[in-house]
Structure 1
Amino acid sequence: MSKQFTPAEVASHKDAENGMYIIIDDGVFDVAGFIDEHPGGAKILKRVVGKDASKQFWKYHNEGVLKKYAAKLKVGTVKESAKL
């Protein structure tokens, strides 16, 4: 079973030392090791670190992108009780 996070826990991971977490749908992803590789630039990812980036992600990406990187970047899920 993967680790579960609350949105507040995700928000506390905002730097490379502690991990740079974002939420996409119900998944929590650490983009610290990917930030410099991101084709759109690091600045875009830094704006959403610690937040739910689902809306921004799906605006520019398709499901194939998530499948490609999920195994490498996913660190857990958002706790059911934390979802609206």
Structure 2
Amino acid sequence: MSETFTVKDVAEHNTVDNGLYIIIDSNVYSMASFVDDHPGGSKILKRVGGKDATQQFWKYHNESVLKKYSDKLKVGTLKEEAKL
């Protein structure tokens, strides 16, 4: 069962030691186990750790990449937060 995260929850996972979570299209992925295998290098994943990486992801990837890794890396979804 996947969890629901707030933006603040994701922001707390901004290093490999903390899980290195990223957001792509309101889904939360843990990149800690993938960071060393990322074809583009670990530096970019570490830079977007704890943040919404949707724009950067879609700039360099297509939907087949997300489908390929989603089951392995997705840990939950982003909780809708009230806007003031």
TM-score (norm 1): 0.92
Contact 1:23 1:29 in 2 (8 A): yes
Contact 1:29 1:75 in 2 (8 A): yes
1:17 counterpart residue number:
17
Consecutive unaligned residues of structure 2, counting only runs of 5 or more, are none
1:19-59 CA-to-partner distances (Å, cap 9, x unmatched) read: 01000001000000000000000001111000000000000
For residues 79 and 29 of structure 1, what CA distance do their matches in structure 2 show? 14
For residues 15 and 48 of structure 2, what CA distance do their matches in structure 1 show? 12
For residues 75 and 50 of structure 1, what CA distance do their matches in structure 2 show? 13
**Residue-pair matches, total:** 83
TM-score (norm 2): 0.92
For residues 22 and 15 of structure 1, what CA distance do their matches in structure 2 show? 10
> Shift in Å at residue 80 of structure 1?
1.8
For residues 15 and 60 of structure 1, what CA distance do their matches in structure 2 show? 22
2:80 counterpart residue number:
80
- Give the CA RMSD over aligned residues: 1.4
Alignment of 1:21-40 (within 5 A): 21-40=21-40
> Structure 1 pair 6/35, CA: closer, same or farther in 2 (3 Å)?
same
> Shift in Å at residue 14 of structure 1?
1.7
Among the aligned pairs, what percent are the same residue?
A: 66
For residues 82 and 42 of structure 2, what CA distance do their matches in structure 1 show? 28
| Moved segments of 4+, more than 3 Å | none
